[in-house]
Each structure stands twice: as structure tokens, then as C-alpha cells.
């Protein structure tokens, strides 16, 4: 019987089917962070339970810690250092690996899980963070879970869930110059709505997906949750194998050869059936920017803010009206040329080396517009060091950006830092919800190159034109 990629992973991890038609599923790896990880480990100990397999549990500090140079345990969050110290102590007590603040392997959960070879093709990886689906770029099932589920999986290496439906999104054609994976996923969500994948495990496929490098694939899978998917994943290929090989926790020797043979089978069969399929023509995608308070509120940079009057139903119209009011915009207003106050490049969505390179290509030889606060937070220490070895940090600082330490940072204000009320922020992050980057702040999501272009122009700009202008000069 023909099966999908998700079927193949599910079938090798389903422990048993339960009477209520849900399943008990084995989880291969668990990743914790200081915002909830220490709490989960403490609760587990209070119940006189232990971590079942400490060798398969990892932790980092990324959510609450600040990202200023010279940082320590003390953060901008009142009492935030308690979370950090609790995570550190409980990790030591439990015998799990902790990538602490001063560790050269430190970084955002989903980045370092891939960087270190902790997540491998075909695995099921759980983390109390909704963007764990990022790891689907490796052909793994990244499962974002809640705190109570976190305790359960630590104690048992299993989780209970109903098997989701299967959705494939097929990207036809090739991307135009200056169009990125971030634009692909924003275009997809804008077209089908933020609930377009609800109840489904989502597989990204098609020639445009195959053509993406690994950093682009991570970005695509990262925002599967913004599409309401259970998870998002991409079939592993030679790019995946080359990415994984030689990483700290990756297999080697005879084990490596065996894994390669197994990974070669991790793809949907040609005649596998999906419950739902969407197709996207990449020729229709341009650099994309959000205008409202949901990732589905997005249009190409050449387009204007849509009118609620064009919506099909009253609820959608009302949501659009509220979003426009919050964002201080009006229907028909062009996004291009809209003045901004700040620019942020970072997060588990777009803080990898290729993201920083793309932004640096725009920034090189230019300066941030007067009055614009611009911040870059690399996703991990490995990314930061690689960028500094290439001189990318100097490109950012010469342009007027702050160059920070790794962490979730201003993706959202859990770390206590935020932009001011009604400040308009161009951001490479994944969510533009109300107050996401500070109370009453206004977030426009876009690719790193688009964020860099806006920082230079002081307004939303088309990065393709800026690159052309620079080349002409």
C-alpha cells in the first residue's frame, strides 16, 4: 500500500492504538528551554518521578534570557533569573545535556537541535514550543507540546494524540530573484488562511521546495504552525544527508551507512494519497509583507492594503477592520513606502547564516535611516561565530545595527524587552499578533533582506530594487 512520508514515520513510532481512537506515540528526543523546562522537571521530581532516558533529553536557555553583550543570569524580566537557575539545577540533577548561556553550542532550541545533529531524519522530536515544526526540514516530525505533555514525555518517552489528516502543499516552478522561503510561506498562508492546515500534518513538496537550501527549508517548516498544521515536514534528500553528516550527535561509521539507507526510504510514494492538496505557482510570489495582526494578513510588496469590504463573511470583515485599526492603516494604502520605526532580524524563523548573509548583501556600504532602531540577533553561537568569521557582524554594525547574542529576543517580549507602543517594526520573525513585540507595537513580517531594505530606507521597500540600485552604482 502506498504511504506518505508522515505515514512512514508514524507507523514506526505508534506504540499502540487506544480505545478512544487516539494513539500512544514514541518520542525519540525531547528539547527543553528555561521558560518551561525547569518547571516541568521540578513538577516531575515533586511527583517522585524521574526522566526515563536522560540521554535523549536536551535543554537550552533561549526564551527569557536577554541578548545584550556581556549578559548573565539576570534578565529584564523580574525574577527571570530564577527560571534560568532552576533550569540549570534541574538539568544537572536529571543528568540531561544543557547548552548553557556560556556554552559555544548555545542558541535557540530549534536551531541547535539541528546544528548538533540531535534531530535526524525519521525521528519524532518534542519540545514545549510551537515552532518545533521547524525540524521537519530534516524529514523529522517536530511536535510542539504543552507543559503537562512535557512532563508525560519526560517520564515515559511517549505522548498520546489522534493521528492527523494529511495535507501536501506543492510549489510549482521556480522562485524569482529576491524571493525567498519566507515569501513562499507567507504567500501560502495569505492565500488559504491561517487555519488552512488545521487538523493536518503538512508535507511541503515540489520543485521549488527541492531547490531550497536547508536554511530555506527550516524557514518554510517553521511557519507550518502559523498555518495551523500539526507539523510540517520535507522529505530528506542529499542536501539533508550532507547537512547532517559529521554533526556532534549524528551517527558515524557503520551506523551512518545504515541510517543513510533508511533515510533514502523517507519519502512519500508516488501514488500515495493525501486528504487535501494545495498547489502554488511560484511565478505569482513576490517579496511579501504582512499588513495586519495575523500571518494571513499578507500581500506582495507591490500591492496595497486590502479592503474588509471584499471579505466573504462578516467575521472576516470584522477581524480585518480591527487589524487595520490596530495597525493604523486604511484600505487601499500602499505598503511600499510606509514609514517604519524599527527593524529586527532574528528568531528561529530567520536567524541562520544564509539569512544574515542575505541581509548583509543589502546593508553592505549603506547606513540605517536616521531615527530607526535596528537589531540583529543571530540564532546560535555557531551562526554568530560563522558570521563574524565572514565579517558579517561588521557589515551590520557599520550600517547601524545592534549586533546581539543568541536568543529568542525581540521575536516576542518574554525576555522583557519590547518596542514602544505604536512603533512600526519590520521583522523577520513568525508572528505579528497584537503586542507580540511590545505592548501596542505594530509588526510587519518579511524576509531578512526585506527587513534590511526597510531599515536602510526608513520605510517598507522592495529589496529587489535596492539590490538593483546598488548593482547599478
C-alpha cell at 366: 549603506
Residue whose entry in the numeric block shows the C-alpha cell 529568542: 408
**257 SS3 class:** helix
pLDDT for the residue 472: 40
Phi-psi region of 97 (alpha: psi -120 to 50; beta: other; left: phi over 0): beta
Closest-CA residue to 359 (of 338, 349, 344): 344
Give CA–CA dist 450/359, Å, rounded: 8
Domains defined for the chain, CATH in brackets: 5-162+237-258 (3.30.499.10), 165-235+268-288 (3.40.1060.10), 290-472 (3.30.499.10)
Closest-CA residue to 9 (of 263, 215, 278, 276): 263
Sites in the chain below the pLDDT cut of 70? 468-473
Q: What is the pLDDT of residues 355-376, one digit of tens each?
A: 999 999 999 999 999 999 999 9
Contact between 35 and 130 under an 8 Å Cβ cutoff? The reply is no
In what helix (H) or strand (E) does residue 259 lie, and over which residues does it extend? helix 253-263
From the DSSP assignment, how many helices (H) and strands (E) are in the chain? 16, 19
Q: What is the pLDDT of residues 258-314, one digit of tens each?
A: 999 999 999 999 999 999 999 999 999 999 999 999 999 999 999 999 999 999 899
Beta-bridge mates of residue 17: 23
CA 19 from centre of chain: 35
Closest-CA residue to 445 (of 197, 181, 229): 181
Contact between 324 and 330 under an 8 Å Cβ cutoff? The reply is yes
Q: What is the pLDDT of residues 104-131, one digit of tens each?
A: 999 999 999 999 999 999 999 999 999 9
Beta-bridge mates of residue 33: 60
Give CA–CA dist 426/445, Å, rounded: 6
pLDDT for the residue 414: 76
Q: What is the pLDDT of residues 194-207, one digit of tens each?
A: 999 999 999 999 99
C-alpha cell at 179: 524571493
pLDDT for the residue 473: 40
pLDDT for the residue 147: 83
pLDDT for the residue 148: 86
Amino acid at each position: 500500500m502506498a504511504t506518505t512520508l508522515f505515514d512512514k514515520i508514524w507507523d514506526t513510532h505508534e506504540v499502540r492504538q487506544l480505545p478512544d481512537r487516539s494513539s500512544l506515540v514514541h518520542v525519540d528526543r525531547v528539547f527543553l528551554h528555561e521558560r518551561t523546562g525547569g518547571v516541568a522537571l521540578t513538577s516531575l521530581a515533586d511527583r517522585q518521578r524521574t526522566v526515563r532516558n536522560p540521554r535523549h533529553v536536551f535543554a537550552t536557555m533561549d526564551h527569557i534570557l536577554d541578548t545584550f553583550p556581556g549578559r548573565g543570569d539576570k534578565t529584564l524580566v523580574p525574577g527571570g533569573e530564577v527560571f534560568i537557575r532552576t533550569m540549570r539545577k534541574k538539568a544537572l540533577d536529571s543528568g540531561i545535556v544543557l547548552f548553557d548561556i556560556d556554552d559555544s553550542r548555545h542558541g535557540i532550541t530549534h536551531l541547535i537541535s539541528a546544528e548538533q545533529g540531535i534531530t535526524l531524519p525519521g525521528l519524532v522530536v518534542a519540545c514545549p514550543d510551537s515552532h518545533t515544526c521547524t525540524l521537519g526540514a530534516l524529514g523529522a516530525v517536530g511536535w510542539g507540546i504543552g507543559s503537562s505533555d512535557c512532563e508525560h514525555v519526560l517520564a515515559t518517552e511517549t505522548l498520546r494524540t489522534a493521528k492527523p489528516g494529511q495535507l501536501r502543499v506543492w510549489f510549482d516552478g521556480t522562485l524569482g530573484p529576491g524571493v525567498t522561503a519566507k515569501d513562499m510561506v507567507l504567500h501560502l498562508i495569505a492565500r488559504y488562511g491561517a487555519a488552512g492546515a488545521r487538523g493536518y500534518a503538512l508535507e511541503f513538496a515540489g520543485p521549488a521546495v527541492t531547490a531550497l537550501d536547508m536554511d530555506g527549508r527550516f524557514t518554510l517548516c517553521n511557519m507550518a504552525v502559523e498555518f495551523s498544521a500539526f507539523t510540517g515536514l520535507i522529505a530528506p534528500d542529499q542536501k539533508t544527508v550532507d547537512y547532517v553528516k559529521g554533526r556532534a550527535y549524528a551517527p558515524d561509521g557503520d551506523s551512518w551507512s545504515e541510517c543513510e539507507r533508511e533515510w533514502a526510504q523517507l519519502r512519500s510514494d508516488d501514488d500515495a494519497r493525501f486528504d487535501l492538496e494545495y498547489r502554488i505557482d511560484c511565478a505569482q510570489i513576490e517579496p511579501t509583507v504582512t499588513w495586519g495582526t495575523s500571518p494571513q494578513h499578507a500581500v506582495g510588496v507591490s500591492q496595497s492594503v486590502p479592503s474588509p469590504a471584499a471579505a466573504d463573511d462578516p467575521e472576516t470583515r470584522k477581524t480585518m477592520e480591527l487589524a487595520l485599526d490596530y495597525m493604523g492603516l486604511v484600505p487601499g494604502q500602499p505598503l511600499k513606502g510606509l514609514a517604519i520605526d524599527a527593524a529586527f532580524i532574528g528568531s528561529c524563523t530567520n536567524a541562520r547564516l544564509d539569512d544574515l548573509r542575505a541581509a548583509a548583501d543589502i546593508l553592505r556600504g549603506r547606513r540605517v535611516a536616521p531615527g530607526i532602531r535596528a537589531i540583529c540577533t543571530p540564532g546560535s553561537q555557531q551562526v554568530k561565530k560563522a558570521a563574524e568569521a565572514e565579517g558579517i557582524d561588521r557589515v551590520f554594525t557599520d550600517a547601524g545595527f545592534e549586533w546581539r547574542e543568541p536568543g529568542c529576543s525581540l521575536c516576542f517580549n518574554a525576555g522583557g524587552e519590547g518596542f514602544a507602543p505604536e512603533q512600526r517594526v519590520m521583522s523577520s520573525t513568525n508572528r505579528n499578533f497584537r503586542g507580540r513585540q511590545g505592548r501596542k507595537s505594530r509588526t510587519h513580517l518579511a524576509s531578512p533582506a526585506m527587513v534590511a531594505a526597510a531599515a536602510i530606507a526608513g520605510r517598507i521597500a522592495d529589496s529587489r530594487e535596492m539590490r538593483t540600485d546598488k548593482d547599478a552604482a
